[in-house]
Structure 1
Amino acid sequence: MSSTGVRFGANYTPSQGWFHHWLDFDIDAVRADLDSIAALGLDHVRVFPLWPLFQPNRTLIRPRAVEQLVALADAAAERGLDVNVDGLQGHLSSFDFLPAWTGTWHRRNIFTDPDVVAGQEEYLRTLAAALADRPNFLGMTIGNEINQFSGPPHPDPDRIGPAQAGAWLRRLLAACEEGAPGRLHLHAEYDAAWYQDGHAFTPEHSATIGAVTAVHSWVFNGTAQRHGRTGTATEHHAAYMIELSKAWADDPHRPVWLQEVGAPAPLVPAEHAAAFTEATVANALDCSDVWGVTWWCSHDVSRSLADFPELEYSLGLLTNDRQVKPAGEAIRRIVADRRGRTYAPPVRTTALVVDVPARWDGDAAPGDAPEVADRSTCAPGGAVFEAFARLTADGARPTTVLASRAGDAAHLAARGITEVVRPEEVA
C-alpha cells in the first residue's frame, strides 16, 4: 500500500484469449501480463474466473481450475501484486456467463432458488478457502455487476425485490468469510443501483453491506453524451459516485473503492484518454476515505475476438501486445508522483441533499416497490446529479447527505458538514 493509504491497481484482462484464457491456461503468458502491469507501479489486480468453467455442474467445482487461480495469485505475489477475486462471472463486457444448470431446461432464479444459492455459496467458499493462506489475497468480490441479472434492461432477468437482493448479498458474503476469515469481502454493482428507479439492488446495500463500498464509474451512461468529454460532470463522475455513496453509509468514514473506471471511446477519443485519466483520478483522490482506484482494464481486447461492443477493444492501459498506451503512462505518472507522499484531502463541508429513501426493507414483489422510486434524481440529468456538477464547476467541493439525515447534528458533525444545500437552491 502506498504511504497515502490509497491503492492503485488494474482489472486484469488477459492479453491472450481474454477471459477465455482459463480454457487454455498458460502461466507463462499470465506472468508476462503481470510483469507489464507491475511495471506501471500498480500494487494489485482484480481477477475474474468464469463461473461456468469453474463450476460446470452444481456439485462439481473443478480442482484444476481452482489450482490455476491459485497459480495466478502466486505469480502476482512474485511481482508484488495483491489479488482480489470476483467469483460469479456473471457478466463481463456485454457477455453473460451463467452455468448450464441455471438456464433453459434447468432455469432457476439465481438469486432465490435454494439449490442455486447453495451452489453459489459452496463455490465462493471454495475459492476463498483456496487462497486464504496467501498473504497477497485481498478477498472476494461476489461477482462483477451481477445486479444486471435482476431486472431491466437485461433481456431475460431473474426478477427479485430489494429485500431478496439484500438477503442474497449477506448470505454469499458470509460464505466468503467462512472460506477466508478476516479478508476484504465485498459486492459490486453497476450504476443502476444508484441511478435506476425500481432496481432491486439499492444504494443502501452498496453502502452498508460488505467490507467496503464499491463504485463503478462509466461516463457512457449519459454523462459524457450530455456534458462532453471535458465537462465538469464527466471528469468528476467518479468523484461524484464516491461522494454520493456516502449519503447512505452508516459509518462516516466507510472506505470506498473505485473498483472500475475507464476511458471509453469514442466519447473519450484515444488522443484524450490520458487527459481524462489524469483528471478522473485526481478528482477521485480529492475525496476522503478512498480505499483504492482500479482501472478498467489492464490490456486491450484482441481484435481477433468478435462481437464485442466497439469501446471494449480499446480500454486497456496496455495494448494486446503489452505496450504501454497513453492512459497507462498517465497512471504510471500518477502512481510515481504519489509514491512516498502523504496527503489527506480537505473535508468536504458542503452537502447536497438527496431526497431518496434511506432504507428499502419491505417485502414488495419484484416490479411492485413504489418506495424504490426517485433514484433517477441522482442519475445524469437528474436534479442531484446536475446540482453537484454545477457546485463543482463553481469551485465548491460538495458531498451528499440524505434528506432524512440533513437535520441530524451528530451525523453532520461526524462527517464535518457545516452547510446543507438542496438541489433546487443551486443556481
Structure 2
Amino acid sequence: MPAAVRFGVNYTPSQGWFHHWLDFDLDAVRADLDSVSALGLDHIRVFPLWPYFQPDRALIRPRAVEDLVRLVDAAGERGLDVNVDGLQGHLSSFDFLPAWTRTWHRRNLFTDPEVLDGQAAYLRTLAAALADRPNFLGMTLGNEVNQFSAGPHPDPDRATADQIDAWLERMLAACEKGAPGKLHLHAEYDATWYQDDMPFTPAQAARRGALTAVHSWVFNGTAQRHGPTSVASEHHAAYLIELSKAWAEEPHRPVWLQEVGAPAPLVPAEHAAAFTEATVANALDCPDLWGITWWCSHDVSRDLADFPELEYSLGLLTNDRRPKDLARALSRAARDHSYAPAPRTTALTVPADPAARTRCAPGGDVFEAFFRLTADGARPTTVLDTRAADQDHLVARALTEVVTPDQVLRTPRGGTRS
C-alpha cells in the first residue's frame, strides 16, 4: 500500500504578506496557522525573504532566523510540518535580491565566487537553526530561481547548464551540512520543462535533490489555448508530474506537486472549486506522488498595492481567514487516505535533447499528444526517446506500450494506435 500523499499549502501571511518578516507578529502567525490546520492539512511551505534575512553577505540577522524558528515551532504545535525556501528570490511577480548582488554591486547569482559563498552560508545557517525541529521537513533552495537565469527576465544572470549543475550541487550540500538527513531539494517554474534555452534542465530537476518538484500554472498558455475546463487544464499538474519521470534515474523517484493554484480570470472564481477538485483528483492518479501543496493559504490584502490582479485572490482562505469553496475541496481530498493509483503502462516519447523542450510546452506535439491520450483514457506517462527501446528501463517502470507523438496525433480520436 503506498504511503499517504501529503497535503499542504504555501503559507502567505494574511497580514503584511511576506513583508511580515519586517515586524514579525507571532500571534498573527498562530491565527493564520490555526486556519490552515482547521482544513486538515499536514504541512506548510514558508518563505523567508532573502534580503531581509541576509542584507549583507557577512550579516545573517539572528533576529530574523529566530523568528523563522518561532514560526516553525508554532506550526509544530498545530501538527504542521514545514518546508523552508531559502533564496527568495522571486515571489508573486516581485524580485527580492540583496543589494550586494545588484546595481553597483552586480554579481552573477550562479557563478560569482563571493555570491556563492554568501548563499551557501545563508542556506546552511537556516538549515542548522532548524535541524533539531522534528517538524522541519528540509530546505528548498529557493522559489523558482531559474527565472533569474534566462529570458523573459529583464536582467538575467546568465549561466550554462554545467554552471547551474555545480550551483545546485553546492547549495544542496550546504543544506545537508546544516541539517543532515532532511528532505532538501530545488524547485523551478515550468520553463525548466518547456523553454529550450533554460540552463536549469529537466535532468537536473529529476535527479538532483531528495525528490522532484513541479510547479503547475495553467496561465502558461494551457488555459488560454484549451480553456479552464479542458482536459489539458484539469490534467496539467498530472502532466508535469508524469513528464518529470522521463528524466528520472530512479524508477519510483517521488514527485512533489509543490505549487498549483486556480488563477483568475483564466480560472473563473465560480469554477475555482471544481478546478481544484479535478486537478487534485488527476494528480492523485499519478503513482509516486509525494504531496500536493496548494498556492496559497491566504489572499493578499487589498491594502497592498501593485500586485498583479490574480495574486489577490489565489488563497484558500480570505484575508480575514475564512475558507473558500476551493479550500473545502482541498480539505475533503486531504481527509481521504485512499491513494493507490494503478501503474501507468503507456509511455509517450519525449525528446532527451534539452534544446527541444518547446515540444513539451503548450502547443507542442508532445503536450498535445499527451492530452489526446488522456482524453482517450490511456493514462499516459513519458519516456525519453533515447530510452524507448531500453527493455530494462521499461520493465523497471512497468511500461508495456511506447508511442510517439506523431503516432498519437495522426490517429483518429478513439482509434487504435499502431
Give the TM bin, normalised by the shorter chain: over 0.9
Is this contact kept in 1: 2:299–2:317, CA < 8 A? yes
Which of the residues 345, 349, 353 maps onto 1:353? 349
The CA deviation at 1:182 is 0.2
Q: Is the 8 A contact 2:284 2:339 kept in 1?
A: no
Amino acid at match of 1:75: A
Aligned-partner Cα distance in 1 for 2:333–2:109: 40
What is the rounded CA distance, in whole Å, between the counterparts of 2:178 and 2:28 in structure 1?
29
Q: 2:186 aligns to what SS in structure 1?
A: strand
Within the candidate set 378, 382, 400, 2:382 is matched to 400
Between the aligned partners of 1:260 and 1:26, the Cα distance in structure 2 is: 26
Corresponding residue for residue 343 of structure 1: 339
Q: 1-side partners of 2:316 and 2:214: how far apart?
A: 20
In structure 1, the partner of 2:144 is 145
Q: Deviations over 1:397-422 (max 9, x none)?
A: 00000011000000000000000000
| Cross-structure match for 2:158 | 159
Q: Is the 8 A contact 1:49 1:86 kept in 2?
A: yes
2:368 is equivalent to residue 386 of structure 1: yes
| 8 Å CA contact 2:13, 2:32 repeated in 1 | yes
Aligned residue identity for 1:295? W
**Aligned position for 2:23:** 24
Residue 102 of structure 1 is matched in structure 2 by 101
Answer whether contact 1:353 1:401 (CA < 8 A) is retained: yes
Would you say how many aligned residue pairs link Structure 1 and Structure 2?
A: 409
Matched residue, 1:48: 47
8 Å contact kept, 1:73–1:137: yes
Code of the aligned partner of 1:134: R
Whether 2:86 is the aligned partner of 1:87: answer: yes
CA distance in 2, matches of 1:194, 1:343: 26
Aligned to 1:424: 406
Give, as a single letter, the amino acid of the residue that structure 1 aligns with 2:300.
Answer: V
Query: Shift of the alpha carbon at 1:113?
Result: 0.3
Within 5 Å, give how 1:226-305 maps onto structure 2.
226-305=225-304
The residue aligned with 1:327 is 326
Deviation at residue 222 of structure 1 after TM alignment:
0.2
- Counterparts of 2:315 and 2:130 in 1: how far apart (Å)? 27
Q: Give me the whole-angstrom Cα distance separating, in 2, the residues matched to 1:136 and 1:46.
A: 12
Deviation at 1:3, TM superposition (A): 8.0
- Residues 59-85 of structure 1 show CA distances to partners (whole Å, capped at 9, x for unaligned) of 000000000000000000000000000
Query: 1:197-225: per-residue Cα shift (whole Å, max 9, x none)?
Result: 11100000000000000000000000000
State the match for 2:37 in structure 1: 38
| Alpha-carbon distance between aligned partners in 2 of 1:113 and 1:185, rounded to the nearest angstrom | 23
Q: CA deviation at 1:342?
A: 3.8
The code of the aligned residue for 1:77 comes to G
AA at the equivalent of 1:162: A
Corresponding residue for 1:363? none
Indicate if the aligned counterparts of 1:3 and 1:342 stay in contact, CA closer than 8 A: no
Aligned to 1:306: 305
TM-score normalised by length of structure 1? 0.95
CA distance in 2, matches of 1:355, 1:177: 33
SS at match of 1:278: helix
Aligned residues of 2:4 and 2:339 also touching (Cα < 8 A): no
Separation of aligned partners in 2, 1:232 and 1:3: 26
How far 1:333 sits from its partner (Å)?
1.3
- Partner of 2:414 in structure 1? none
Deviations 1:232-265 (A, max 9, x none): 0000000000000000000000000000000000
Give the Cα separation in 2 of the matches to 1:355 and 1:157.
Answer: 26
Using the alignment, how far apart are the partners of 1:3 and 1:349 within structure 2?
18
For 1:32-53, what per-residue CA distance to the aligned partner results, in whole angstroms no more than 9, with x for missing partners? 0000000000000000000000
Other-structure match for 1:62 = 61
Contact 1:4 1:342 (C-alpha < 8 Å) held by counterparts? no
What CA distance in whole angstroms lies between the structure 2 residues aligned with 1:148 and 1:395?
35
Q: Which secondary structure state, in structure 2, belongs to the residue aligned with residue 388 of structure 1?
A: helix
Contact 2:347 2:382 in 1 (8 A): yes
The residue identity in structure 1 corresponding to 2:352 is V
Q: Percent identity?
A: 77
Question: CA shift at 1:142, angstroms?
Answer: 0.2
Which letter maps to 1:397? R
Question: Could you state the TM-score of these two structures normalised by the residue count of structure 2?
Answer: 0.97
SS of the counterpart of 1:329? helix
Question: What is the alpha-carbon root mean square deviation over aligned residues?
Answer: 0.9
| CA-to-aligned-CA distance 1:90-121 (integer Å, 9 cap, x gap) | 00000000000001110000100000000000
SS at match of 2:82: strand
Partner of 2:14: 15
Contact kept? 2:5, 2:339, Cα under 8 Å: no
Partner residue of 1:375 out of 344, 350, 357: 357
Verify the 8 A CA contact 1:219 1:234 in the aligned structure 2: yes
Task: Give the Cα–Cα distance (whole angstroms) in 1 for the partners of residues 129 and 346 of structure 2.
Answer: 45
**Which runs of structure 1 show a deviation greater than 3 angstroms over 4 or more consecutive aligned residues?**
none
Structure 1 residue 4: deviation in Å? Answer: 4.3
Distance 1:16 1:294 in 2: 21
3-state SS of the aligned residue for 1:187?
coil
Q: Is the 8 A contact 2:32 2:321 kept in 1?
A: yes
The 8 Å contact of residues 50 and 89 in structure 2, kept in 1 or not, is answered as: yes
Change (3 A) 1:342 1:68: same
Inter-partner Cα distance in structure 2 for 1:3 and 1:209: 23
